[in-house]
Amino acid sequence: MENKKRGILERLNAGEVVVGDGGYVLQLERRGYVKAGHWTPEAAVEHPEAVRQLHREFLRAGANVLQTFTFYCSEDKLEISGNVTNITGAQINEAACDLAREVANEGDGLVAGGVSQTPCYLNSQNETEVKAIFKKQMDDFLKKDIDFFMAEFFSYVEEAVWAVEVLKTSGKPVGATLCISPEGDMSGVPPGECAVRLVKAGADIVGVNCHLDPLTCIRTVKLMKEGLEKAGLKAHLMIQPLGFHTPECNHSGYLSLPEFPFALEARAMTRWDVHKYAREAYNAGIRYIGGCCGFETYHIRAISEELAAERGFLPPASEKHGLWGAGLQMHTKPWVRARARREYWENLLPASGRPTCPSMAKPDDE
């Protein structure tokens, strides 16, 4: 039955909005299933019910794509992490594919097999070795039923290009996102040039994920778009930014913030921040719009609600959400009832309740 679903490129080529899912590792860390530091995804084997539930939430929130919970799931990374002993990367990859598939089939979801940056690249920059790692992970996925591939969270476009080159051999569509700032990748390759290299390597969809807040990521994707246009190339654009406000970040992104990763709460976006983001991303021509670390279920729902007219429907989870605060209309306190309107939430400047804290930090990479 799932093979009747329209594929990712079919949808994007038709001009549809594809809503991505949110962040898995940070959310599952908070739920007690992922260890911060190495952030490996052994929960797919150890606690499948927790991963399944988060997939299901994203699907209910309107996500069209569920990414396999396989972040950092290369053998070299798993070994360094020390987080797993009796479980192989292949076991995790395969279990993760099954979980994503199971939930995707509960609705109109596609499954993207995800690969990410490797320690091997940082240590060796050896193309053969790095590609072998991606090949191994790809082969795990190909034993299962996935719809397309996503190479994500790359700091160096070179490594991402290698990933794309490997994944393209599968014959499936490939997306690729870099975790870079508008200044470019860690080697100084500007976003426009990064996009060109990825598309030339075969990527069907390019964009950015993680490391920086939505408005900054939109700027980076715009630069990618300009680079592609100048080069006469075409590709679909995607974005999966942080769900945190990081206005003061530089090149290294939120890793350099003093609050990373255990005190980011005060930076979390509200659902109303996400409405603005989704609109701006759409206006920038981006059609694959999701989130990364910090994007929780209700943030994904907010994307779906902001773009409901463009998509033609609201997601299942909106049954439990009055648009723009409408659920407050019957509240017993008059001042709470007064919040049941769009203008209120759009213009609110939320206080932090932390009078001895600053509003901006000094990043450690300054």
* Residue numbering of the annotated binding site for Zn(2+): 210, 292-293
Nearer to its own copies, 122 or 200 (CB): 122
Site membership for its own copies, residue 37 (CB under 8 A):
yes
- Give the residue from 120, 244, 252, 126 showing the smallest Cα distance to 179: 252
Nearer to its own copies, 67 or 256 (CB): 256
Q: Which stretch binds its own copies (CB under 8 A): 33-41, 94-102, 172-180, 228-236?
A: 33-41
- Which residue, 234 or 333, has its beta carbon nearer to its own copies? 333
Helices 297-306 and 48-60 cross at an angle (nearest 10°) of 20
CA 121 to chain centre: 22
Q: Of residues 2, 10, 49, 79, which one binds its own copies by CB under 8 A?
A: 49
- Total chain residues near its own copies (CB under 8 A): 83
Considering only 124-132, 159-167, 224-232, 349-357, which stretch makes contact with its own copies by CB under 8 A? 349-357
What is the contact mask toward its own copies in residues 124 to 163, using x (rule: CB under 8 A)? Answer: ----------------------------------------
Closest CA to 239 of 264, 255, 219, 267: 219
322 binds its own copies (CB under 8 A): yes
How far is residue 12 CA from its own chain's centroid? 17
Told to check if 323 binds its own copies by CB under 8 A, we report no
CB pairs under 8 A, 24+ apart, for 323-326?
none
Q: Please state, in angstroms and rounded to a whole number, the distance separating the CA atoms of residues 279 and 269.
A: 15
Identify the residue among 85, 128, 283, 356 touching its own copies (CB under 8 A): 356
Q: Does 349 bind its own copies (CB under 8 A)?
A: yes
* The binder of its own copies chosen from 36, 126, 143, 230 (CB under 8 A): 36
Contact call for residue 50 and its own copies (CB under 8 A): yes
Would you tell me how many other CB atoms lie within 10 Å of the CB of residue 206? 32
CB 244 within 8 A of CB 213: yes
Structure tokens belonging to residue 8: 């990712």
Binding site residue list? 210, 292-293
Tokens (6 digits) for 266: 């005060």
Q: Which stretch binds its own copies (CB under 8 A): 108-116, 191-199, 220-228, 323-331?
A: 323-331
Per CB under 8 A, the list member of 56, 236, 287, 311 interacting with its own copies is: 56
Instruction: Please tell me whether residue 281 adopts helix, strand or coil conformation.
Output: helix
Cα(266)–Cα(296) distance, integer angstroms? 15
Binding residues among 160-219 for its own copies as defined by CB under 8 A: 213
Q: Encoding tokens for residue 310?
A: 């463009």
Residue selected from 10, 263, 323, 342 as contacting its own copies according to rule CB under 8 A: 263
Under the criterion CB under 8 A, does residue 108 sit at the interface with its own copies?
no
| Residue selected from 63, 95, 174, 269 as contacting its own copies according to rule CB under 8 A | 269
**Could you give the residue ranges of the DSSP H alpha helices within 105-171?**
119-124, 127-142, 157-168
Give the type of residue at 340. A
CB of 67 to its own copies, least distance (A): 18
Interface with its own copies, residue 316, by CB under 8 A: yes
- 261: preceding bond cis by omega (within 30 degrees): yes
Candidate residues 77, 101, 245, 275; the one interacting with its own copies per rule CB under 8 A? 245
For 319, the 3-state DSSP assignment is helix
